A and B are shown apart, each in its own frame.
Chain A
Amino acid sequence: MRLPKFEYLEPRSLKKASEALTADPKGTFLLAGGTDLLVNMKHGVIQPKRLINLKAIPHLNYITEGKDGLRIGALTTLHDLASSTLVQDKYPVLGQCALEVAAYTHQVMGTLGGNLCQENRCRYYNQSVFWRSARAPCYKVGGEICHVVRKSKECHSTYRGDMAPVLIAMDAKVKLVGWMGNRTIPLKRLYTQIGKKPLSLRKGEILKEIFIPSPSGQTLYLKWRLRGTLEFPMVSLALHLEKNGEGNIDRAKVILSGLGTGPLEAFEIEKMLKGVSLDDGVIEKISNQMVKEISPMRTSIASPNYQRKMAGILLRQGLEKFKS
């Protein structure tokens, strides 16, 4: 499967990159590790006229700690993240999560920025040109139909990234650089929850840095897939709890991947968790609620019913770990 033809640019600064991106926002794509983008290009679902290689830009690969938290350059690879002693010591869940992405080589190649900005997925979308020729083009590739939800007017493609849930649960912010200036937004707001255009990046904007405030409370990440490696999550769950002196939960974050058009926040669950102290009854009740809170679509080979069940089970497992 050959890559389509494109023009290739190696700007030396983010500013230059952003300018180039602005010049033709529809036809220009950013290349980081390429492990998501190149597959989509070979499948012909993304057809860039120009590719901007961000890896040529210096100083975007760093992990530093300030007094308010951790700063990670967008071009930092998942492997570097997992290997960093700083991360291992103070933000271990980040490293653990990075090790859950695909396999070793993908972690070496894949960047944190690329992971957060990866395309949504669907079993009718992540397929070759030939494969897709057996059906009418769907919304996501500019067509007029959705094969997953026949009556739908929109795309239900699914976000399956591993890093976003954990980072959102930890209240991460992202710094975006554009030709008109920079802005910092909560990572959560990077996601539009719109299948066709999952990211809220504006014209010319590039993700430059991820900021994670100093940790308070505990975070964990649980990923579910058929085999122990390679695969995207069928369901995954990041759970962040902050308890007060009496052991009651002050604040809870429950973010899921693989279930919706973006990383999904389980608001009802978070509400239910607030103020409680975890015992078997509470855990049982709250994890049963999960099934009601999510409604995944059949965008992968896993059945929605099963995904729902598994989300509840993961939540239960997570809460049990935090019980003591």
Chain B
Amino acid sequence: MKHILKLHVNGEDFEIFTEMNKTLLEVLREDLGFTGTKRGCDLGACGACTVLIDGKPYLSCLTLAIAVQGKKIVTIEGLAREGKLHPLQKAFIEKGAIQCGFCTPGMILTAKAFLDEHPYPSEEETKRAISGNICRCTGYVKIVEAILSVNENQ
């Protein structure tokens, strides 16, 4: 069944007419064109589809779009502000934490939520926080380095 879906994504309101059984991942990618959110497994086990909902990390492949109306959704496209990269994005780029880049959006958003909660984490806590985000390319070393570097100089 179709219905009118109202979502607030990256600071903008969207209203679309779509099927009720769609996941947030499907709506973001297929209806709204936010293809930065990736689909790695579609079953909640890789973290590639992670987005922020009211500041917290959600697996969009296991989230019903209809159930998050009225909430503040942020995808990777919405993280940079006025053309300025988020410090995490900058750190990932500069530290070489990105290879193929498929895990990157989910990884950065998970890290963002985590750092917002724990600004000065230990290496162990950081590893735990991103442990639901699979990366097959980097071996995580530079990712952890990048996350830890963000608040280091403050």
Contacts and interface: CB of A to CB of B under 8 A. Distances in A.
Interface string B8-27: 00000000000111110010
A104 B20 contact: no
Nearest to A230: B132
A1 B66 CA distance: 18
Interface string A1-43: 1111111101000000000000000000001001100110010
A105 B51 CA distance: 10
B151 interface: no
- In the complex, which range does the number of interface residues on chain A fall in? 20 to 34
A35 B26 CA distance: 16
Contact of A31 (B19, B22, B67, B130): B67
A243 interface: no
A149 interface: no
Contacts of A5: 1, 19-21
**Chain B interface SS verdict (over half):** mixed
Interface string B125-152: 0001111110000000000000000000
A104 B117 CA distance: 12
Interface of A: 1-8, 10, 31, 34-35, 38-39, 42, 51, 53, 55-56, 79, 83, 99, 102-106, 108-109, 228-230
28 contacts: A3-B21, A3-B22, A3-B64, A5-B20, A6-B20, A6-B21, A7-B20, A8-B66, A10-B67, A34-B63, A38-B23, A38-B63, A38-B64, A39-B43, A39-B62, A42-B43, A53-B64, A55-B67, A79-B56, A83-B117, A102-B132, A104-B114, A104-B129, A104-B131, A105-B50, A106-B44, A108-B58, A229-B131
Interface of B: 1, 19-23, 26, 42-45, 47, 50, 56-59, 62-64, 66-67, 110, 113-114, 117, 128-133
